[in-house]
Amino acid sequence: MGAAGRETGQGVTGTLRKRTRLITALVGLSVLASACVSGAQQDALNPQGPYARKSYDLFVPVFWVAVGIFVIVEGLLLLFVIRYRRRKGRPAGVPPQIHGNNRLEIAWTILPALILAGVAVPTVTTIFDLARRPSGQVLEVNVLAHQWWWEFDYPNEGIVTANELHIPTGKPVVLTLCAVGLGYGKQPTPSSCQPGPPQGAPPAAVGDAVIHSFWVPELAGTQDVIPGMTNQLVIQADRPGRYSGQCKEFCGLSHAYMKFAVVAHTPEDYAAWVRNQQADAVMPQPGTLAATGMDLFLNGQCIACHAIKGLQDANGNPLVANGGPDLTHFASRECFAGCWLRTDDAEQLAKWLDDPASVKQGSWMPDYGLTPEEIRALVAYLQSLT
Amino acid sequence: MASVSVPAAGTAEGLLRRPRATTGFWSWVTTVDHKKIGILYGVTAFAFFLVGGVEALLIRLQLARPNQQLLSPSVYNEVFTMHGITMVFFVVMPLSAAFINYLVPLMIGARDVAFPRLNAFSYWVFLFAGLFTYSSWLLGGAPNGGWFGYAPNSVLDPTRGMTFYAIGLLMAGIASTVSAVNLAVTIINMRAPGMTLFRMPVFVWMSLVVQFLLAFSLPIITVALVELLFDKRFGTHFFDPVAGGDPVLWQHLFWLFGHPEVYILILPAMGIVSEILPVFSRKPLFGYQFVVFSGIAIGFIGFGVWVHHMYAVGLGPIANTAFGISTIIIAIPTGVKIFNWLGTMWKGDLTFPSPMLFAIGFVSMFVIGGLSGVTHSIVPSDYQQTDTYYVVAHFHYVLFGGAIFGLFAGAYYWWPKVFGRRLNETLGKIHFWVMLVGFNLTFGPMHILGLQGMPRRIQTYPKELGLTFWNLVSTIGAFTIAVSILVFLANVVLTQRKPREHEADPWDGRTLEWLTSSPPPEHNFDEIPTVHALDEAWHRKYAETEDGRVVPVPAGGSGAGSEAEGHGGHGGHGIHLPSPSYYPVVASLGLFVLGYGLIFSWWLVALGAVVLLAGLYGWALEPSVEPSEA
């Protein structure tokens, strides 16, 4: 997924990459480790924005302090094993019975305490630093965690999307995160993650929600998403690119399949993206396979859960999302189904429509027993929704 | 009370005649001898270790390559959950209990624990808790919400798995709470004359700290589990935010238990290592008081660090700062222990039989787990590491590299005491080196995997994340560990076939258990030793000359050597020992049935309650004093 976007900024991050490699090399085998790192997409050692970098900048010095202590302790252990082993030819007498040494005890209590105090100071300042809401212009996005996919709601832009969070570079993005259950979306105003409690999200929205955790390591640390609680997290990307993220808190059957991507654009590209997302869905040419797909979509079960902006149901009402992703610009996204499948791969789309649970066990999208012809038409329609 | 000579039982007005078997199946079922119970704990826990190990291998097979579907998500979730529950509650805790049960009375010069029948009850409840939890595989699905069982996922899950989890762990908690009280009373009240608190071996000290940790932390998880059970079975709303409940409540309760639990798992192993390093360095433990006090300090501070499991919950910067600092602080007493173990080896006369190898392995691996633990106190750094394989690596370095290495060290060390035979040295060394290599291959790469973006508890991962190579290495490591365990099993089988050597003191030991025969007689000591010093057994063998050299005491010189032959002296006649009893196993069987009742039928609850009450009444009315001796 998204290898293309990631090549940008490779040169600028060269020094960071080197440090990353240095660390992994020390932990394991250097050659193999660095080969792996260059292919990694979700790498906490490859911060790509100021918030991720704050975590990283603490980890690196602490890592080296730990390496130092490791070398000293294991070195002493090895030294004593060699130096004081019983040797042939040495009289096997009983060694002097040393019971301890108070000065040493005080030393190895105070010294580590001092080292740890030194580490604690930047830790505390960074905790408060990260908790501070950024001043100045920010982008606000509500993040709704479903079982098992992510929905992104831009309240000021009027955009709702799924699996991919698009952001402009160089601007802090304040995410308001809430966990929603199956009942979510039945409310007349969907896709709002009101700050609370006590107002809280609408009760039905959290009734059967579970805990998730939002993590896109190259842009920020982790933030749990907890039913009945509204958490915030700030992310920011320095450079355009595609950053992989994943649900980190075990959330039931398909926890492993709850991935997402953050796509960072230059401010200009981002504005273009916003304009495209605000538009109604593209209408297929009459008589095409895609048009057949649209009819199937409107007259079948799809609209029970999914919305497409610009379409009306049989009674002339606009479609309202009810637990399923908004599909208005489905084909403008690279991935779907918890970012496990690609939208441009007709085969994967067909497989999903045929039997969603075969991709994501427990998926709430039912198998409607669609015929291969119906699936082909729906795939054509979905892929036309740019 | 009966005596070791055949008791004239059956004349008093008990419900049943007291059992009289001294060998064979019924002697094990009815035993109240702390040594037999210790062996039962050990064998049962080791069997669970093999089962939990197979689960680990299944996990590693599933993760060996990306996009695998060897185990479906539903099966995978059951397997990793059961692996965790098994290793924590049915392996490391009862293995520690095995050592504590067998050794503490011997080390403090007692004839048994304070409440021998209660001790048997603890074991049987533990066994039934394990069987109960495992029976879920056959009765609608195993627990599948992780050993940490986070609500609301555990409540909302439609299967019975997490109900089995709640009841199974409640039963295990009863077993541990009962035994905690029993062993704490034993250590406080039943020490031999002269054994002041600060003449107790460090293993006994650590056992005492663990019993207090259990007694104070288990009630907390009991509350959590009862609430979970009520939410699941009776539709209450403890963890339901819509009805005013709170999902985070579970996390506070679970980790307020869960973090002391970590020290419940590791402190006994630290105690074992603190016994072994001095013996094979032929020096006393360096800084005995500091090792003891750091253990106590760890016990106290261990109750104040639980939020470091919850930094990402959103409790705010002040909570995260406070618990970050308490987590930093707990590193200090841990460091003190490590430095004192190094000090023990310094200027020693070191030999390296298997127990010493495993003890040194413990120290060196635990250092790694301790250091990665310190990185968790760096809260912003933990924002990245939390819930990744980095954490999996960390706690396996503590609980496998620490606890399991320590427990194997103890197994090799006390095997000759328990079974009268030394385990084979060559196989022991092969076991150690293969396990050390396998262990590091398995868990070392997990540090890298976690930092490269592999979250915990995922059934599979896409190839694009670049996690394939280290996952494969880790899987190979897991099977290497399995090979080392087979070597250990072979060693046990081969050793059992050898004739007994009956060496009372094969390692030139320092503590009281080496004064009695191997295996010890049922009454432990013909004559309760009088203790004059820390490392009493050593001081009976060696004395310091005026110029500071240590020389052996001439045989018989101290006049304290007679205990070395267990069957000498009085031959055990006239020593009062508790008689075996049917009631502990009956009462625990009642709990077992009651557990199923809570899931399946109120009739079973009633039946279980009747059996439990019958067991308790029989227990209470059982004649405790032989009429002939009253």
Distance (Å) from the C-alpha of residue B109 to the closest C-alpha of chain A?
A: 23
Among B582, B148, B341, B568, residue whose Cα is nearest residue A81: B341
- Spatial separation of the C-alpha atoms in residues B206 and A190, rounded to whole Å: 57
Encode pLDDT of B505-529 as tens digits: 999 999 999 999 999 999 999 999 9
- Spatial separation of the C-alpha atoms in residues B236 and B252, rounded to whole Å: 19
Q: How many other CB atoms are there within 10 angstroms of residue A45's CB atom?
A: 25
pLDDT at residue B622 in the model: 86
pLDDT at residue B431 in the model: 98
* Contact yes or no for B316/B233 (Cβ under 8 A): no
Residues 590-619 of B with CB under 8 A from A: none
pLDDT at residue A89 in the model: 72
Take residue B602 and report the two structure tokens written for it.
């109120």
Peptide bond connecting A198 to the previous residue in cis, omega within 30 degrees of 0: yes
Q: Which residues of chain A have pLDDT under 70?
A: 1-40, 90-92, 182-207
Position with higher pLDDT, A196 vs B621:
B621
pLDDT over 60 at B426, yes or no = yes
Strand partners, B552: B542
CB of A121 less than 8 A from some CB of B: no
Straight-line distance from the first to the last Cα atom of chain A, in angstroms, rounded to the nearest whole number:
18
CB of B385 less than 8 A from some CB of A: yes
CB of A166 less than 8 A from some CB of B: no
> Looking only at Cα atoms, what is the longest distance across chain A?
101
- Spatial separation of the C-alpha atoms in residues B415 and B39, rounded to whole Å: 11
Confidence of residue B487 (pLDDT cuts 50, 70, 90): very high
Residues 26-65 of A with CB under 8 A from B: 27-28, 32-33, 35-45, 52, 54-56, 58-59, 62-63
> How large a percentage of chain B has pLDDT more than 90?
86
**CB-based contacts of B468: which residues, under 8 Å, 6+ apart?**
B65, B66
pLDDT over 90 at B549, yes or no = no
Average pLDDT over residues B124-128: 98
pLDDT over 70 at B1, yes or no = no
Average pLDDT over residues B532-542: 93
pLDDT at residue B16 in the model: 64
pLDDT at residue B22 in the model: 77
CB of B322 less than 8 A from some CB of A: no
CB of B66 less than 8 A from some CB of A: no
Residues 313-352 of A with CB under 8 A from B: 340
> Distances from the Cα of A283 to the Cαs of A129, A273, A286, A291, in angstroms?
48, 19, 9, 8
pLDDT over 80 at B249, yes or no = yes
Between chain A and chain B, how many beta carbons pairs sit less than 8 Å apart?
Answer: 315
> Distances from the Cα of B355 to the Cαs of B157, B185, B484, in angstroms?
45, 30, 15
Chain CA centroid to CA B196, Å: 25
A chain contacts of residue B153, beta-carbon cutoff 8 Å: 210-211, 250-252
Average pLDDT over residues B108-136: 97
Average pLDDT over residues B344-364: 97
Angle A34-B57-B484 from CA coordinates, rounded to 5°? 90
Take residue A318 and report the two structure tokens written for it.
């606009």
Q: Where are the beta strands (DSSP E) in chain A?
A: 139-146, 149-154, 159-162, 164-168, 173-179, 212-215, 223-225, 231-235, 241-247, 259-265, 335-336, 341-342
Among B122, B95, B127, B187, residue whose Cα is nearest residue B411: B95
* Contact yes or no for B224/B217 (Cβ under 8 A): no
pLDDT over 80 at B20, yes or no = no
Residues 135-154 of A with CB under 8 A from B: none
Chain CA centroid to CA B514, Å: 23
Chain CA centroid to CA B226, Å: 24
Among A167, A160, A166, A168, residue whose Cα is nearest residue A144: A160
Average pLDDT over residues B110-120: 96
Strand partners, A262: A165, A243
**CB-based contacts of B426: which residues, under 8 Å, 6+ apart?**
none
pLDDT at residue A1 in the model: 37
A chain contacts of residue B549, beta-carbon cutoff 8 Å: 93-94
B314 residue type, one letter:
G
- Spatial separation of the C-alpha atoms in residues B538 and B628, rounded to whole Å: 41
- Spatial separation of the C-alpha atoms in residues B79 and B52, rounded to whole Å: 9
Encode pLDDT of A52-87 as tens digits: 999 999 999 999 999 999 999 999 999 999 999 998
Average pLDDT over residues B64-70: 95
**CB-based contacts of B188: which residues, under 8 Å, 6+ apart?**
B208
B250 residue type, one letter:
W
Encode pLDDT of B370-394 as tens digits: 999 999 899 999 999 999 999 999 9
**Ramachandran class of B444: left when φ > 0, alpha when ψ lies in -120 to 50, beta otherwise:** alpha
pLDDT at residue A91 in the model: 67
pLDDT over 50 at B336, yes or no = yes
pLDDT at residue B560 in the model: 44
Handedness of CA B230, B232, B238, B242 (dihedral sign): negative
Mutate to test the interface with A, among B59, B148, B156, B242 (most CBs of A within 10 A): B242
Encode pLDDT of B270-321 as tens digits: 999 999 999 999 999 999 999 999 999 999 999 999 999 999 999 999 999 9
Name the CA radius of gyration of chain B, rounded: 25
* Contact yes or no for A285/A291 (Cβ under 8 A): yes
B127 residue type, one letter:
L
Encode pLDDT of A127-186 as tens digits: 999 999 898 899 999 999 998 999 999 989 999 999 999 999 999 999 999 888 765 544
Question: At residue B65, what are phi and psi to the nearest 5 degrees?
Answer: -135, 155
Confidence of residue B234 (pLDDT cuts 50, 70, 90): very high
A chain contacts of residue B380, beta-carbon cutoff 8 Å: 54-55, 58, 123, 126-127, 130, 221
- Spatial separation of the C-alpha atoms in residues A169 and A177, rounded to whole Å: 21
Helix H or strand E encompassing B493: helix B468-497
Among A213, A262, A209, residue whose Cα is nearest residue B457: A213
* Contact yes or no for B412/B358 (Cβ under 8 A): yes
* Contact yes or no for B247/B241 (Cβ under 8 A): yes
DSSP string of B103-139?
A: HHHHHTT-SS-S-HHHHHHHHHHHHHHHHHHHHGGGT
* Contact yes or no for A190/A321 (Cβ under 8 A): yes
Facing A123 at nearest CB: one of B343, B379, B452 = B379
pLDDT over 50 at B531, yes or no = yes
Of the options 3.90.1150.10, 1.20.1090.10, 1.20.210.10, 3.30.200.20, the CATH number for the domain spanning B36-501: 1.20.210.10
pLDDT at residue B9 in the model: 43
Confidence of residue B13 (pLDDT cuts 50, 70, 90): low
> How large a percentage of chain B has pLDDT more than 70?
93
A198 residue type, one letter:
P
Cα torsion through B453, B459, B464, B470, rounded to 10: 70
> Distances from the Cα of A327 to the Cαs of A296, A321, A361, A383, in angstroms?
14, 9, 21, 10
- Spatial separation of the C-alpha atoms in residues A180 and A201, rounded to whole Å: 9
SS (H, E, C) A164-204: EEEEECCCCEEEEEEECCCCCCCCCCCCCCCCCCCCCCCHH
Contact between B342 and A226 using a beta-carbon 8 Å cutoff: no
pLDDT over 50 at B5, yes or no = no
pLDDT over 90 at B594, yes or no = yes
